[in-house]
Amino acid sequence: MMQSLGLINTVIKLLTYSDELLEGKPLYVSSNSLPVKAFNREPAGHAFHSAALKLLGCAKDGKKEDTTSESPKKVANGKDVEDIPSYETYKNSHSSSNSKGEKNKKSDKEQHDHYALLGLGSLRYLATEDQIRKSYRDAALKLHPDKLAAALLLTDESEETKEAKKEAIESHFKLIQEAYEVLMDPAKRRIFDSTDEFDDKVPSDCAPKDFFKVFGPAFKRNAKWSVNPRVPDLGDENTPVKEVDKYYNFWYAFKSWREFPEEEEHVLEEAESREEKRWMERENARKTQKARKEEYARIRTLVDNAYKKDPRIVKRKEEEKAKKQAKKDEKVNAKKKLEEEAAAAIEEEKRRKEEEAKLAAEAAQQQKKNKEKEKKLRTKERSRLRTLSAPVLSQRLLGISVAHVEDLCMSLNTEQLRKLCDKMENKEGLKLAKVLKNGNNDGTESEEEEEVGGKQNGHVEANGFSKVDTATQSPRAAAMV
């Protein structure tokens, strides 16, 4: 209760806290509002009230020792005044009591196992609401204080012993009720499960044959924190690779519901103002976020270590590596084969060119030989023609001259010269001259025509000379002859 500030000698009472904060002892302190800097307002706050009390002599100085601690009164200006401690004294005592209270709360949480109290120690976070409800009913029927208290009345123990046992029974049943309330509330149960004893160790290495024995239990332990209740199984060596990939994809995208209440150092109910409460919330959120990042890093380390040591993944990597190496070797071999084929083609082209050059040289040599042979044969046939033409030229038959013979030698080829010479063989006189006159032409028909014409004109050749046949000649022609 706040009273108006009167004379200095009067007792000053400020806002009082409830009697339950400090073991039922009334404690007078200043208002829990922070100093406000504003116009048209009176100064207020812990610092102002504490200083005002010191100036008025109504409160102790925290630095001085109290020599009259036995009396709750203090004399000021000759009168008894009720001792009102300063804000610093209250703050220190209150903070120490709160820290002790927090330690006691933590120790209580460590001592009391809600699952064990309900007989669900083996199931723990896997216990369903129906199982929790059923276990609580069974425990209430067996351990209800009224039922056990009635049994105590029949014993021969002393009243003190019965009272102590009764208090123990009631306290134990209160713990059961508290366990039921916590486990049936999703938010409280999540916090309790998050602070429950848990093995955070992450295996790092193992033999290939022990992979499933080492990492299997680790994944099962951490599956407890999964938001998605359908956690895939690690499988075994015969699990298909697609299922293995799905498993690791699930864990790489793992979402955890784990809470970290132990990281929240500040109790919001102890905040003395909205600003302090907001600051506490920010600090708690920052430390909780840090703890969550560490948790996700721990899960990621577990998944990375398992992925590196998983024999199925190792086998697939080796197969992929072998395939890549095979493709690489295939490319190298193909390139080498192309190079060899190109070299062989170049060598074949070179050999072909050399062969063609050789054949060309041989052909040229043969052609040269043929030309020389042809030249020799032509020279021989020309000499033969000149020899055969000598009687005709000497007798000057049919007006054949040397120029005509030379013209035939130069114009006719070897074969034609040979044929002409063959025709001239075994011929004499006019026949020889006629063959020579006709050259390479067929002179048989002209010879017969000339022979027939000669007979028609009365000429008969005898011994190479032309004679007139008077029998076939007309009388006038004969007269002329």
Neighbour tally for 219: CB within 10 Å: 19
Domain end, chosen from 84, 111, 138, is at 111
Q: Which of 45, 79, 111 is the last residue of a domain?
A: 111
Is position 458 within any domain? yes
Residue 242: what pLDDT? Answer: 92
Q: Does 107 share its domain with 120?
A: no
Query: Does a structural domain hold residue 376?
Result: yes
- The answer to whether residues 150 and 213 belong to one domain is no
Residue 230 lies in a domain: yes
Burial 104-138 (b: 16+ CB within 10 A, else e): eeeeebeeebbbebbbbeeeebebeeeebeebbee
Cβ neighbourhood burial of 420 (10 Å; 0-12, 13-18, 19+): buried
| Cα 437 to the center of its chain, rounded Å | 103
Answer whether residue 200 is part of any domain.
Answer: no
Q: Is the same domain home to 62 and 116?
A: no
pLDDT in tens, the chain (481 residues): 333 344 344 444 444 444 444 555 555 444 444 444 444 445 556 666 666 676 666 655 444 444 333 333 334 344 443 444 444 443 444 444 344 344 444 444 444 888 888 888 888 888 899 999 999 999 888 888 887 777 776 676 777 887 888 888 888 889 999 999 999 999 888 888 888 888 889 998 899 899 999 999 999 999 989 999 899 999 999 999 999 999 999 999 999 999 888 777 788 888 889 999 999 999 988 998 999 999 999 999 999 999 999 999 999 999 999 999 999 999 999 999 999 999 999 999 999 899 888 888 888 888 888 888 888 888 888 888 888 888 888 888 788 888 888 888 888 888 888 888 888 888 788 887 888 788 766 544 444 444 434 443 344 443 444 444 443 343 333 333 3
Please give the pLDDT value at position 175. Answer: 92
My answer on whether 228 and 137 are in the same domain is: no
Q: Classify residue 259 as left (phi > 0), alpha (psi -120 to 50) or beta.
A: beta
Whether residues 1 and 97 share a domain: the answer is: yes
User: What is the Cα–Cα distance from 217 to 187, expressed in whole angstroms?
Assistant: 27
Question: Do 107 and 122 belong together in one domain?
Answer: no
pTM of the model: 0.50
Last residue of a domain, one of 111, 126, 155: 111
Q: Are residues 107 and 173 in the same domain?
A: no
* Inside any domain, residue 116: yes
Residues 241 and 302 in one domain: yes
Q: What is the pLDDT of residue 52?
A: 67
Count of alpha carbons within 13 angstroms of residue 152, beta-carbon side: 21
Q: What are the tokens at 450?
A: 């000339």
What does the alpha-carbon distance between residue 387 and residue 265 come to, in Å, rounded to a whole number? 144
In 3D space, the residue among 427, 192, 190 whose CA is nearest the CA of residue 437 turns out to be: 427
- Whether residues 7 and 46 fall in one domain: yes
In the DSSP assignment, the letter for residue 16 is: B
The span from the CA of 224 to the CA of 220, in Å, is 7
Which residues have CB under 8 Å from 395's CB, separation 6+? 429, 433
The sign one gets for the Cα dihedral 294, 297, 303, 304 is negative
Please report whether residue 317 resides in a domain: no
3-state secondary structure of 196: coil
Q: Could you tell me which of 238, 245, 203, 248 has the C-alpha nearest to residue 221?
A: 203
Beta bridge partners of 460: 467
Whose tokens are 């067996």? That residue is: 142
Output the domain CATH number for residue 150: 1.10.287.110
Which run of H or of E encompasses 468?
strand 465-468
Tell me whether residue 101 is in a domain: yes
Query: Are 187 and 254 part of one and the same domain?
Result: no
Asked, for residue 107, whether it belongs to a domain, the answer is yes
**Same domain membership, residue 50 and residue 116:** no
Q: What is the pLDDT of residue 308?
A: 93
Q: Is 386 in the same domain as 415?
A: yes
Q: Is 26 helix (H, G, I), strand (E, B) or coil?
A: coil
Q: CB neighbours of 252 closer than 8 A, spacing ≥ 6?
A: 300, 303
Beta bridge partners of 459: 468
The residue segments making up the domain with residue 246 are 208-309
- Tally of domains in the chain: 5
Number of C-beta neighbours around residue 450 at 10 A: 15
- CB-based burial label for 352 (10 Å; 0-12, 13-18, 19+): exposed
